[in-house]
Structure 1
Amino acid sequence: MVHQPLSFWIIFTCGHTHTPKMPSYTVTVATGSQWFAGTDDYIYITLVGTEGCSERSLLDKPLYNDFERGAVDSYDVNVSEDLGELEVVKLEKNKYWVQDDWYCKYVTVKTPSGDYVEFPCFRWLVDDKEVVLRDGRARLPQDDKTRLAKQHRRKELETRQKTYRWKEWQPGIPMSIDANKHSELPRDIQFDSEKGVDFVLNYTKAIENLCVNQFMHMFQSSWRDLGDFEAIFVRIKNTISEYVMQHWKEDFMFGYQYLNGCNPVIIRKCSKLPEKFPVTHEMVEDCLERDLTLEQEIQAGNIYIADYEILEGITANSTDPCTPQHIAASIVLLYKNVQNKVMPLAIQLGQTPGEDSPIFLPSDGQYDWMLAKIWARSSDFHTHQTVTHLLRTHLISEVFGIAMFRQLPCVHPVYKLILPHVRFTIAINTKAREQLICESGIFDKANGTGGGGHVEMIQRAMKSFTYKSLCFPDEIKARGVESQEELPFYFYRDDGNAVWEAIKSFVSDVVGIYYDSDEKVQKDEEIQAFVKDVCSFGMQDFDTCEFPKSLKTRNELIQYLTAIIFTSSAQHAAVNFGQYDWCSWIPNSPSTMRKPPPSKKGVADVQLIIDSLPDRGRSCWHLGAVWALSQFQENEVYLGMYTDEHFIEKPVKDAMKAFRKRLADITSTIKRRNEGKKLPYYYLSPDKIPCSVAV
């Protein structure tokens, strides 16, 4: 984010003959309020206008400590002639004693005529470097006419492209930032110091706070019975997690999670039973409530399916040879009954039918059916963690963020629009690659797909991952679950549609301010480069992804930007912050299974279930993980909040105000709906949706 000097042009511009002294400019400089934002280094400023520039001026108040954290300091800068219209200000930081980084929020300049010009900064000045700021008006590249403006734009992107480089973390998955550790990232995208994001530390604290560290010394020992899992629920105060603990064995709870649990993206309408899942009417007729055959129920739209085919052949975690771990590529048939509840109808724990892969039914023995459901929930957990959560929110948001920094200068309206939605995303992903999903990382300690299986899953998921699947209404329609009449109580769909439309309306307002025609979109070389960078580099030009390489209309741009903002805010919130609610009761979402799936009926009992579920140590790691991942950060920035004012134009501020009003209305609607519910759904309530993927 730090720019190379525009020395040649500034010197050229500033080469003038001295004239009688003109009235001074008043410069106001705001320092950030985060930890260590202040500096004791020397700060210099140069004002550059269309007619000339000021001398390089030291900003200093004798006997006064300038640039303290949270400070707003004002200075007079004397000039020898009229500078004309201010184009840029140049800030320089030079070492006083030791290098002392400084975070500048903004610079405001009061001209001799009394006008105020705002120069947003919101970035760090590190070492003996400088930053050159444009005034806060957003401009498309074709709007810049002066040589200085065009050069500033070009220099900024040249520097950024050297700083933000693509790197392949693993083959066949989206590209990431070229940094091995969080400390190697550009200062502007690192976490604030007080955030203290450290997976090892946070998980350890979570385990201590939940009072489960007492079980860690018995790492590989089994629990005694199902009730014994309550021992690690000692600190639970959460209404939903307690309800899950009490009702997890019931079929309605199993089915409900496909609609409103933390992985509500798997269920799809079944229009025809796949040959690999040969469920017959005779198998399930006792569960059907409408005097229809299974085929008729399918035709009536009452049958749904969840297929975990992506897990077929995935390598199970073998990092601990003493404790074999197992994975199942389950298939689940679901039935919407006359009460509009979604209930499990049949479960097959593999993709190949046969004698060794029986179809489990509600009419089977109690423990056979219970174990089959536990296996299906384990399949769901793996798919959620690796595909729904990691790939489809974290990794894709990082792609958008890197491409944004590489191709869009700070003055571009789209940069200003999406910057809040990539806040800390590259940092959290880098930290995850450093500690969580790396070889021998925390992921390997508890998860059945650790040790490399999670990478295999992402590689496989990329073969069916498309741009349209990021467009919420299209994704819902593709699964055949768009109708409220056919599938009521699908709050994820209903709230998601409301938030999507609110975001789209806001994006449409902003796009309309800067693009008055489709032609302007086509001629915006920076937005076209951004879109191409996402597809050709970030997504590695995978044939199946269908990401656009160019945008031709305003509507296409609106859809694209809406997908970016929704994915990084609402979609992540929907699949992240419910993890403790739905996954903390271990039998409901096992992170691994220690016995292979049953190959016949009639063999399951309580002991087999206990022996199959995670041992004490892995249960504790799992609980600490879902606790830590479900916590909101201190000073969280939620959807509709714009703490950094990158836009200064009134029309955009009016659009933001209207956006907040729409979001507040959605929040109120959700709050009213949730009143009195034993299972409230609030993950897509805008007041609980952070702006970005930051945890």
Structure 2
Amino acid sequence: MLHQIVDLLSGRKDDGERSKIKGKVVLMKKNVLDLNDLSASVVDRINELVGQKVALQLISSVNTDHSAASGSGSGSEDKLKGKVGKVAYLEKWVTTFTSLTPEDSTYDINFDWEEELGVPGAFIIKNSHHNEFYLKTLTLENVPGHGRIHFVCNSWVYPSDKYKTSRVFFSNQTYLPSETPDPLVYYREQELVNLRGNGSGQLEEWDRVYDYAHYNDLGNPDKGEDYVRPVLGGSSEYPYPRRGRTGRPPTKTDPNSESPIPLLLSLNIYVPRDERFGHLKMSDFLGYGLKSISQFLLPEFTDLCASTKNEFESFEDILQIYEGGLKLPDGPLLKSLYDNIPFEILKDLLPIDGEGLFKFPMPQIIQEDKSAWRKDEEFAREMIAGINPMIIRRLSEFPPTSNLDPKVYGDQTSAITHDHIVNQLDGLTLDEAINTNRLFILNHHDSLMPYIRRINTTTTKTYATRTLLFLEKDGRLKPLAIELSLPHPNGDQFGAISKVYTPAEDGVEGSLWQLAKAYVAVNDSGVHELISHWLHTHAVIEPFVIAANRQLSVLHPIYKLLHPHFRDTMNINAFARQILINAGGILEATVFPAKYSMELSAVMYKDWAFPEQALPVDLVKRGMAEEDSNSPHGVRLLIKDYPYAVDGLEIWSAIKTWVTDYCKFYYISDDTVQKDTELQSWWKELREKGHGDKKHEPWWPKMDTQKDLIESCTIIIWVASALHAATNFGQYPYAGYLPNRPTLSRRFMPEPGSPEYDELKTNPDKIFLRTITARLQTLIGIALIEILSRHSSDEIYLGQRDSPEWTKDAEPIQAFEKFGKKLGEIEKGIIEMNNDEKWNNRVGPVKVPYTLLFPTSEGEGITGKGIPNSVAI
């Protein structure tokens, strides 16, 4: 009887035959995901029939194979590898059929139970098929003495001959480096070595290498001087965050510039395959849509505008884009576009009917009222509740001064005087208005003035602007004055030539005021797209993605915390470098800095500081809040009805509470943080390589304390999720109607005595429309932001995970559930405030409620709400 009990506990059967560990593997076959390779399934079945199978081997987490030294130990002792079990194969691959829809395939696998294996902590997989597949999970159901073990993989597995080392996956157990079981240490370290690569060579789609490069792939000097762009990053003149290395060869003309990919291959730019969009996102047009604009819509729109006029004749003419549609010219490109669309969903997103009519959806900004966007109240409201509410600041001195070097730029002090505004301060003196925190400024002067002269040598004709505003007792902002400035015609050193405009409703003065607001909107649109959106979310986050994959194991708690917030970022940034921000790309064609767009972005990166990306810190820095230890968020807002800040602080605090709960579970003291070798390597590399041009800045947290860790992770999650959502998903609702947020100005302000000035008296709308974005650039811009404002059908929002078993530890799971519940409470609070009429700035004259920081969205498409986990579009 005792012998039978021993046999049972050891996993042996009475007949001496070893028992089995039953497992289930979930994966997605290539033919399901790639409609251009339907032969993949057939080829893989042939591989199976000739013995080329998918093999797995379990790796022990408790016992070491002393006969298999790794040869990579420190000092004289080689590290030992965990005991590796016998080979097992996925079963019934040949007889498991899948449809041509995105579905999982589940396969049984049975491992021989070996007593010396103990508890598996990892497994090796070898794919002997001809094609790759997407491995999702492995679940072991009956490990003797342990029970169930789950492995979350979520990775592409290519044929084994593509790899120099074995593919290894770990269970969902979380370990700090010092707590890693000895048998798994080698595998943990070797996986990171593989992900770092060797720093050389052109990377292929199956390579799993995360490495750094400068932004040296935006220009195409081989195409001519017009396509030369400076390298961004690696210099004091043009510092920049690093992007993922591709290793493409240099151009013939400039060895420092990387050669571009042909447009037809633009979606095949290298990023590690696990960073590429999933099948649903690709089929939802977020990749093909960008390509279609460049390849198909741009020439069609160009033909359309050439065959008619590149001007809108009236505001009613613009409304035809949404109400009646545009008749695209017949031609081979249009037929090619519609007949060769790779996914049916694209036909829905490019609504071209049988007669070639192209129609855009109606933007929210004009759904309720077609003219409310022109009101001063709405103009000011969007500075705190629009898509760029991160620029406005409290005015603390009058007149506004400049931080530009007077030796280079002369006197740049504002030309706005006491007389311009004194009668608009509700009876307050100027000093009283400043001292009671009632004056604010939207200041695009210093950031743009150094480039205005060069920008105005292109087709752009614009100004650097300052806008002064007054906070009324009901919480609304009232514009007081707009200053339009140009460099002195005799040279920068002579200062600025400025004109000031004040509010007016009627006559020529009213028309001039509308134009002045348009020039401000042009400035704000460009700064929003290039700085608030691209630089401050997309570009700055990419080094965090790269460094995490190079230095933090998938077993690491901080990797598990941050990984959802890195999804798709490298992929969308790679697409942008090929199609949007490249020389001659969509952004240069539609935004006022034109070919100086990215150069300007690099110059403004000089002012970026990581700790200041924390929302409370940013609000205090801009004078929009004061520190207050009695406040729930540690700050007190000076404009109580500041929708972005009100909702943002709620989201910020929820993220910080979640991060605190999570980090304190794994890091019981500051000493634990300091002794975490992977964490310290990550933080060092992030500063010294990822943001290498700022590595000497004293403001970087030292990562010595729990506080450093919690604050840094909170900032990363905030930037990747909420900050990006606030700047991105309102683009079509607010800017889909270009007169509200024009991206270009093509004429200067009409001067008295000119024909344009006289025409302001009879046809002010014509002058307005001739000044702002033209028809072609409008169509391209709207087509772009319609894509960028959409949620994909596989969106994962803040407070959600793609796998419920992302960690085995119960307390972090419970803390995450608490986080989700808190976000649900915040949603309810936003709804209540939007329905409360006392909050004037939450809806405004245009009747568009502020929902850009609403945590979830009711569905895919353009909803104007929802915070995805990551910078994914």
Would the TM-score normalized by the shorter structure come out above 0.5?
yes
Instruction: Summarize the alignment of residues 222-233 of structure 1 with structure 2, pairs less than 5 Å apart.
Output: 222-233=311-322
Secondary structure in structure 2 of the residue aligned to 1:333: strand
CA contact (8 A) 1:140 1:524 kept: yes
Partner Cα separation in structure 1 for residue 425 and residue 213 of structure 2: 53
CA contact (8 A) 1:27 1:76 kept: yes
Secondary structure in structure 2 of the residue aligned to 1:99: coil
Q: Is 1:652 equivalent to 2:812 in the alignment?
A: yes
Partner Cα separation in structure 1 for residue 671 and residue 317 of structure 2: 66
CA deviation after TM superposition for structure 1 residue 23, in Å: 1.9
Partner Cα separation in structure 2 for residue 346 and residue 33 of structure 1: 62
CA deviation after TM superposition for structure 1 residue 193, in Å: 2.9
Q: Which residue of 2 aligns with 1:64?
A: 95
Root-mean-square deviation (Å): 2.9
CA contact (8 A) 1:207 1:623 kept: no
Q: Which residue of 1 aligns with 2:226?
A: none
Tell me: CA distance 1:62–1:388, structure 2 relative to 1, closer, same or farther (3 Å). closer
Partner Cα separation in structure 2 for residue 119 and residue 497 of structure 1: 36
Tell me: CA distance 1:660–1:297, structure 2 relative to 1, closer, same or farther (3 Å). same
Q: Which residue of 2 aligns with 1:618?
A: 777
CA deviation after TM superposition for structure 1 residue 506, in Å: 0.7
Instruction: Summarize the alignment of residues 512-661 of structure 1 with structure 2, pairs less than 5 Å apart.
Output: 512-542=664-694, 546=698, 548=700, 550-597=702-749, 604=757, 605=760, 606=764, 607-644=766-803, 645-661=805-821
Partner Cα separation in structure 1 for residue 512 and residue 753 of structure 2: 6
CA deviation after TM superposition for structure 1 residue 349, in Å: 1.4
Deviations 1:124-175 (A, max 9, x none): 10121442122211111111241x3221121011111111110001232110
Secondary structure in structure 2 of the residue aligned to 1:77: strand
CA deviation after TM superposition for structure 1 residue 25, in Å: 1.2
Equivalent position amino acid for 1:689 in 2: I
Partner Cα separation in structure 1 for residue 98 and residue 806 of structure 2: 21
Equivalent position amino acid for 1:115 in 2: G
CA deviation after TM superposition for structure 1 residue 233, in Å: 3.3
Deviations 1:603-629 (A, max 9, x none): 742243232112211111111122111
Equivalent position amino acid for 1:361 in 2: T
1:684 counterpart (844, 848, 853): 853
Partner Cα separation in structure 1 for residue 733 and residue 114 of structure 2: 66
CA deviation after TM superposition for structure 1 residue 336, in Å: 0.8
Deviations 1:327-372 (A, max 9, x none): 3221111111233211111111127698942111115811111111
CA deviation after TM superposition for structure 1 residue 286, in Å: 2.8
Deviates more, 1:354-363 or 1:135-144: 354-363
Q: Which residue of 2 aligns with 1:397?
A: 541
CA deviation after TM superposition for structure 1 residue 231, in Å: 2.5
Equivalent position amino acid for 2:478 in 1: M
Tell me: CA distance 1:204–1:216, structure 2 relative to 1, closer, same or farther (3 Å). farther
Q: Is 1:296 equivalent to 2:432 in the alignment?
A: yes
Deviates more, 1:133-142 or 1:606-615: 606-615
Q: Which residue of 1 aligns with 2:193?
A: 158
Secondary structure in structure 2 of the residue aligned to 1:348: strand
The percent of aligned pairs where both chains have the same amino acid is 25
Q: Is 1:454 equivalent to 2:544 in the alignment?
A: no
Q: Which residue of 1 aligns with 2:280?
A: 194
Q: Is 1:240 equivalent to 2:381 in the alignment?
A: no
CA deviation after TM superposition for structure 1 residue 80, in Å: 4.8
1:31 counterpart (10, 22, 27): 27
Q: Which residue of 2 aligns with 1:465?
A: 608
CA contact (8 A) 1:207 1:620 kept: no
CA deviation after TM superposition for structure 1 residue 63, in Å: 6.0
Q: Which residue of 2 aligns with 1:387?
A: 531
Partner Cα separation in structure 1 for residue 562 and residue 752 of structure 2: 53
Equivalent position amino acid for 1:681 in 2: Y
Secondary structure in structure 2 of the residue aligned to 1:87: strand
Partner Cα separation in structure 1 for residue 869 and residue 58 of structure 2: 34
Deviations 1:492-526 (A, max 9, x none): 00100000111111111110111111100000111
Tell me: CA distance 1:514–1:598, structure 2 relative to 1, closer, same or farther (3 Å). farther
CA deviation after TM superposition for structure 1 residue 542, in Å: 1.7
Secondary structure in structure 2 of the residue aligned to 1:440: coil
Q: Which residue of 2 aligns with 1:694?
A: 872
CA contact (8 A) 1:217 1:617 kept: no
Tell me: CA distance 1:598–1:529, structure 2 relative to 1, closer, same or farther (3 Å). farther
1:362 counterpart (503, 515, 525): 503
- Based on CA coordinates, which of the two structures has the bigger radius of gyration? 2
Q: Structure 2 regions of 5+ residues with no counterpart?
A: 1-14, 35-39, 48-52, 64-82, 198-208, 216-231, 234-238, 249-265, 324-359, 402-412, 489-494, 627-635, 837-842, 857-865
CA deviation after TM superposition for structure 1 residue 457, in Å: 1.7
Tell me: CA distance 1:81–1:301, structure 2 relative to 1, closer, same or farther (3 Å). closer
Secondary structure in structure 1 of the residue aligned to 2:743: coil
Q: Which residue of 2 aligns with 1:312?
A: 449
Equivalent position amino acid for 1:119 in 2: F
CA deviation after TM superposition for structure 1 residue 100, in Å: 3.4
Q: Which residue of 2 aligns with 1:377?
A: 521
Q: Is 1:92 equivalent to 2:126 in the alignment?
A: yes
1:48 counterpart (39, 46, 59): 59
Partner Cα separation in structure 1 for residue 302 and residue 322 of structure 2: 12
Q: Which residue of 2 aligns with 1:132?
A: 168
CA deviation after TM superposition for structure 1 residue 588, in Å: 1.7
Q: Structure 1 regions of 5+ residues with no counterpart?
A: 1-18
CA deviation after TM superposition for structure 1 residue 679, in Å: 2.8
Q: Which residue of 1 aligns with 2:244?
A: 177
Partner Cα separation in structure 1 for residue 124 and residue 98 of structure 2: 16
Instruction: Summarize the alignment of residues 8-19 of structure 1 with structure 2, pairs less than 5 Å apart.
Output: none
CA contact (8 A) 2:486 2:497 kept: no
Instruction: Summarize the alignment of residues 210-289 of structure 1 with structure 2, pairs less than 5 Å apart.
Output: 215-218=304-307, 221-234=310-323, 235-243=360-368, 245-273=370-398, 274-275=400-401, 276-289=413-426
Partner Cα separation in structure 2 for residue 599 and residue 131 of structure 1: 70
Instruction: Summarize the alignment of residues 199-210 of structure 1 with structure 2, pairs less than 5 Å apart.
Output: 199-201=289-291, 203=293
Partner Cα separation in structure 2 for residue 614 and residue 29 of structure 1: 54
Secondary structure in structure 2 of the residue aligned to 1:345: strand
Partner Cα separation in structure 2 for residue 601 and residue 474 of structure 1: 49
TM-score by length of 2: 0.72
Q: Is 1:142 equivalent to 2:181 in the alignment?
A: no
Secondary structure in structure 2 of the residue aligned to 1:435: helix
Q: Which residue of 2 aligns with 1:326?
A: 461
CA deviation after TM superposition for structure 1 residue 445, in Å: 2.4
Runs of 4+ in structure 1 off by over 6 angstroms are 204-208, 211-214, 315-319, 351-355, 599-603
Q: Which residue of 1 aligns with 2:554?
A: 410
CA contact (8 A) 1:199 1:432 kept: no
Secondary structure in structure 2 of the residue aligned to 1:327: coil
Tell me: CA distance 1:92–1:66, structure 2 relative to 1, closer, same or farther (3 Å). farther
Equivalent position amino acid for 1:348 in 2: E
Tell me: CA distance 1:194–1:649, structure 2 relative to 1, closer, same or farther (3 Å). same
Tell me: CA distance 1:214–1:239, structure 2 relative to 1, closer, same or farther (3 Å). farther
Partner Cα separation in structure 2 for residue 90 and residue 63 of structure 1: 22
Deviations 1:536-563 (A, max 9, x none): 1111142685552630111110110011
Tell me: CA distance 1:532–1:541, structure 2 relative to 1, closer, same or farther (3 Å). farther
Secondary structure in structure 1 of the residue aligned to 2:117: coil
Q: Is 1:168 equivalent to 2:254 in the alignment?
A: no
Partner Cα separation in structure 1 for residue 645 and residue 547 of structure 2: 29
TM-score by length of 1: 0.90
Deviations 1:645-672 (A, max 9, x none): 3212111111111011000000111112
Partner Cα separation in structure 2 for residue 145 and residue 461 of structure 1: 46
CA contact (8 A) 2:29 2:132 kept: no
Tell me: CA distance 1:206–1:301, structure 2 relative to 1, closer, same or farther (3 Å). farther
Q: Which residue of 2 aligns with 1:507?
A: 659
Deviates more, 1:227-236 or 1:667-676: 227-236
